[in-house]
Structure 1
Amino acid sequence: MEKENESKTEQQEQDQVEAFKVPLVIQLTDDEKCMWKNLSVEESKRLARENAKDIIACGFDISRTFIFSDFDYVGGAFYENMVKVAKCVTYNKVVGIFGFTGEDHIGKISFPPVQAVPSFPSSFPHLFSGKDKLRCLIPCAIDQDPYFRMTRDVAPRLGYNKPALIESLFFPALQGETGKMSASDANSAIYVTDSPKDIKNKVNRYAFSGGQDSVENHRKYGANLEVDIPFKYLSFFLEDDEELEHIRKEYGSGRMLTGEVKKKLIDVLTELVERHRAARAAVTDEMVDAFMAVRPLPNMFN
């Protein structure tokens, strides 16, 4: 899904808040969008607020959650930590980590400290004043790993604890593991804005199947679950582990056909997207402002 890694990360963050009853800080890197996607500052900020609505729709607890935009928040103690990190990382090292070239503008080269310092409690004095030794757990997509490997290297030199990570994989494109999701190809992913008809059409037409080329062969050899996209998506989105294991055995043995698995995926995705659409429609601009307000969270550990 186009927003699959973001959605997965959001769900992981929500699960951790509910499990551990800890404060959650969510960074919206609208400046990164501006620099990497060649968007205007205004458009990047608009998209960040739209992202915030999707996040809030997942059901986060406002008494423990602070969402911030880099364009709006960077300064003060946050910027002080950025400078400290920047002084610890040489140009050669950042090139080695991120693969920057002489053609990249300097904004990209200067960005890594912005991603790094939300790992440090002192970047948020309105939340964690006097709690500089708190440990940070970061659920993120695997493409963000270089930023936090850099952060883990720098943190002890600045007197901070190293952040810990929970990394999620990218969902494969509907066309298969060798394909790539692309915003320019609407059929490579399922969007949270897709209608039930869109979802059904995309899954039936574009979701790569590991089934055999005929029913006879399928019954004989079964599906190749290593390449089957509908099953891979079900492994992420089907909450019933027993049902997923049943599908694994039946489909892998050939007793269940590709059409049956695709139908199950369509049902699961349609219900998920419709539920999210309804929750997001209830998120107002005032709610976004409330989550993004710089404020203490007195009950964040209760």
Structure 2
Amino acid sequence: MSYGDYSVTPWEAKGKIDYDKLVEEFGVEKISEPLLEQIRKITGDLHPLLRRRFFFAHRDLGLVLEDYLSGRGFFLYTGRAPSKAPMHIAHIVPFIMTRWLQEKFNVNVYIEIPDEEKFLAKKVESLEEVEPYVKQDILNIAALGFDENKTFIFRDSEYIGRMYKPAVLVARHINFSTARAVFGFDGETSIGLIFYPALQIVPTLFEKKRPLIPCGIDQDPYFRLQRDIAPRLNRFKTSEILAKLAWGLTGPESKMSASEPETAIMLNDSPEAVKRKIMNAFTGGRATVEEQRKLGGAPEVCTVFHWYTLLFEEDDKKLEERYWACKTGKLLCGECKAELVKRINNFLSLHSKRVADAERKVSKFMYDGKLASEMWNWEFKT
């Protein structure tokens, strides 16, 4: 939906997002310090994405923790809609958070691969255009370390026989005026995309436990609808932990886009491509070395520092040192970029090896693992 100078939908985000206003408009809550402390007590630590408030808002996170402590448990659900380009590092941020939550709470994870979404949203011209990237996206996700016996990865087009009946039940409860108000549908929207939210909601019905969804705040509209419908289907309302949108390399208000490769670090980028992109990235530096030494930089608007904050510096003390070294002119942009290039390339090299390993065991996530085997026999029952 559009909010003055910016707009946020599940398919597109434009402009400089006012997250305080978005929290108010969406009706979510910021994650409080007491909630973070409760997670820390249960897990023994906090993931940097939580500590640094990149995951900053929630719905009913307190109820999820109550369910866990009471022994009722919960489950995790997230997903990825393949497009006509490879995944980039911003795409894997929600999956990294999801994997950490699975490890710390020892719960099931359901990962939907809606291989039809981009076609219905008119972002690609054919279903076949997406196909090469579906398989690679699944491998990229499986490579992040999920428990193969507690994780089910499924494609909509393949699993639709199990999804269709509950999707029809969900769709029955969503009228067009509500869908239009929530998603901003208009006269050019395909009727397939209007039905699609029902499919997004189905995995929240897989278990008679509370679902927790780690996702970007742009995906929240789906689950606002689910919260209206779930009690009628004898299921829990979804809970969420919601992330801000990661910056692209062209500035603090930009987004990584697979269709604009220079804005993003792709998971299959070569070391040379990573170096070129990072060395050309927008920073908060000054025009000359002399000015940088004298006046210092502005890490608050630096895309390079942003990615240290998200994935490439786990140590809070070292991150703070880097911040102040930039701020006081002791650290030059070229030095900071060169170090990030090294860290990203190390990450991508390790990820590539894990993808090769995932090829050998991906069937356990999709068909042969304990949870996968159970889900191929799943039927929706109230």
1:139 equivalenced with 2:214 (yes/no): yes
Q: What TM-score results when the alignment is normalised by the length of structure 1?
A: 0.88
Q: Deviations over 1:161-211 (max 9, x none)?
A: 111111222221211023343333321111111111111111112x11101
Q: What are the within-5 Å matches in structure 2 for residues 121-136 of structure 1?
A: 121=206, 128=207, 132=208, 134-136=209-211
Q: 1:11 pairs with 69, 80, 96, which one?
A: 96
What secondary structure, in the 3-state scheme, does the structure 2 residue paired with 1:165 have? strand
Q: Distance in 1 between matches of 2:326 and 2:124?
A: 44
Give 2:239's aligned amino acid: A
Report the AA paired with residue 289 of structure 2. Answer: V
Q: Counterpart in 2 of 1:228?
A: 302
Structure with greater strand percent: 2
| Kept after mapping to 2: 8 A contact 1:53/1:283 | yes
Name the structure 2 match of 1:57. Answer: 143
Structure 2 partner of 1:174 = 249
- Residues 24-56 of structure 1 show CA distances to partners (whole Å, capped at 9, x for unaligned) of 111111121332223433443442222111111
Query: Displacement, 1:283?
Result: 2.7
CA–CA distance in structure 2, aligned partners of residues 39 and 267 of structure 1 = 37
1:253-299: CA deviations, max 9, x gaps? 21211112111211111111111111112332x5323311176439x
The verdict on how the C-alpha distance between 1:145 and 1:6 changes in structure 2, with shifts beyond 3 A counting, is same
Counterpart of 2:378 in structure 1 is none
CA gap of 1:265–1:295, structure 2 versus 1, over 3 A, is closer
Alignment partners' CA distance in 1, 2:259 and 2:236: 41
Matches within 5 A, 1:67-146: 67-76=153-162, 78-121=163-206, 128=207, 132=208, 134-146=209-221
2-structure distance, mates of 1:184, 1:112? 24
Measure, in 2, the Cα distance between the counterparts of 1:5 and 1:116: 23
- How many Å apart are 1:141 and its aligned residue? 2.0
Q: Which residue of 2 aligns with 1:218?
A: 292
What is the alpha-carbon distance in structure 2 between the residues aligned to residue 118 and residue 2 of structure 1? Answer: 23
Unpaired runs of at least 5, structure 2: 1-85, 375-382
Counterparts of 1:296 and 1:255 in 2: how far apart (Å)? 54
Q: Whole-Å Cα distance in 2 between the matches of residues 55 and 180 of structure 1? A: 21
Contact 1:6 1:141 in 2 (8 A): no
Separation in structure 2 between the aligned mates of residue 180 and residue 21 of structure 1, nearest angstrom: 33
Which of 366, 372, 378 does residue 292 from structure 1 map onto? 366
Cα RMSD for the two superposed structures: 2.2
Q: Give the structure 1 partner of residue 106 of structure 2.
A: 21
**SS of the residue aligned with 1:27?**
strand
CA deviation after TM superposition for structure 1 residue 10, in Å:
1.2
Equivalents in 1 of 2:221, 2:345: separation in Å?
A: 34
Alpha-carbon shift at residue 112 of structure 1 (Å): 0.5
Structure 1: state its 5+ residue gaps.
Answer: 122-127
RCO comparison, higher one (Cα < 8 Å, 6+):
1
Q: Is the 8 A contact 2:154 2:366 kept in 1?
A: yes
Which of residues 152, 168, 172 in structure 1 aligns to 2:227? 152
CA contact (8 A) 1:2 1:182 kept: no
Tell me how far apart the structure 2 counterparts of residues 163 and 156 of structure 1 sit (CA, whole Å): 11
Q: TM-score, normalised by structure 2?
A: 0.70
Partners of 2:271 and 2:368 in 1: how far apart?
A: 38
Aligned to 1:252: 327
Q: What does residue 163 of structure 1 align with?
A: 238
Which secondary structure does the structure 1 equivalent of 2:337 belong to?
A: helix
1:2 Cα shift? Answer: 5.4
